[in-house]
Structure 1
Amino acid sequence: MKLRQFLAAFAIVGALATVGTALPGVTPTAEAAPGGYWGAISWNYEGRTSYAVNYGSERAALHAAKRRCGSRCGWFTFYRSCGAVAYKFGAYRTRVGTARGYPTRASAQRAAKRKAGPGSHVRGWACTSR
């Protein structure tokens, strides 16, 4: 988890250097419920993301991710797999790409970036235990 926190902080510093503004939200550490394989990621158009992994039910994972992100967040769930969210911030519009159900972190990140468009950056990802 320390490595994930370090990588999340590193990604945010890189995004700040690229975008040049202070973006809200840091991907928090999820508190997992033992024995589950459900995960969820919540996101909003300002770049805030949150995740929850290894919950016993889809509803529990979704509730945990939404609670951390806020009421104005979109969301998606996944089971025994990985998900990711990528953003492309423009002058007038933010494009968001989401990916769920991928076998690896890298494949989920590639899919999210492909959906968000060229020049996008991954802002959040999570994988459940298998």
Structure 2
Amino acid sequence: MKMHRFVASLGIAATIATAGTMIPAATPTAEAAGTYWGAISYNYNGRTAYAVNYRTQNGAVRAAKSRCGSRCGYITFRNSCGAAAYKFTGNRTRVGTARGYPTRAAAQRAAKRQAGAGSHIRAWACTSGR
């Protein structure tokens, strides 16, 4: 009888030990892989600036705007690329922006499409982790 209880307890211990190893490991989060923010700041006179690989969106915006000026607008992007295109015609400036694209070329095409035919890229940037 004692031997039966001993064998039964070994079986339970083995089951618990085996079940414990079957629990899946925690999946890595986006933070562990790296979240990188970028920003492009621009104004209608053609001035631009960019900042990439910041831990926070606000950090990227502050850095880009400090280089461009307080009157500059901005776009932000996370783990991707962004671009700003300009089209100057007489006394009018048209700005096209793009953000969240996987490549520099894709962001530039989208910004130029938004600014219109004859526009040109004034700024582009890509973060790490894309």
Question: What TM-score, normalized to structure 2?
Answer: 0.72
1:11 aligns with none
Does 2:69 align with 1:76? Answer: no
Instruction: Give the letter aligned to residue 64 of structure 1.
Output: A
Distance 1:63 1:76 in 2: 12
Gaps of 5+ in 1: 1-34
Q: How far did 1:75 drift?
A: 0.3
Query: Who is 2:23 aligned against?
Result: none
String of CA shifts for 1:87-106, please: whole Å, max 9, x gaps. Answer: 00010200000000000000
Name the residue aligned to 1:22.
Answer: none
Please show how residues 97-116 of structure 1 align to structure 2 within 5 Å. Answer: 97-116=96-115
Q: Deviations over 1:4-54 (max 9, x none)?
A: xxxxxxxxxxxxxxxxxxxxxxxxxxxxxxx65000000000111000000
- 1:58 aligned residue: 57
Partner of 2:28: none
Higher share of residues assigned helix: 2
Contact conserved, 2:35 with 2:78, CA < 8 A, in 1? no
Q: How many residues align?
A: 96
Mapped to 2, the partners of 1:123 and 1:59 lie a distance apart of 22
TM-score, normalization: structure 1? Answer: 0.72
Is the CA contact 2:57–2:76 (under 8 Å) kept in the aligned structure 1? yes
Q: 3-state SS of the aligned residue for 1:68?
A: helix
Residue equivalent to 1:91: 90
Question: 1:112 & 1:125 partners in 2: Cα distance?
Answer: 10
- Rg comparison, structure with higher value: 2
Whole-angstrom CA distance in 1 between matches of 2:55 and 2:35: 4
Instruction: State the percentage of identical aligned residues.
Output: 73
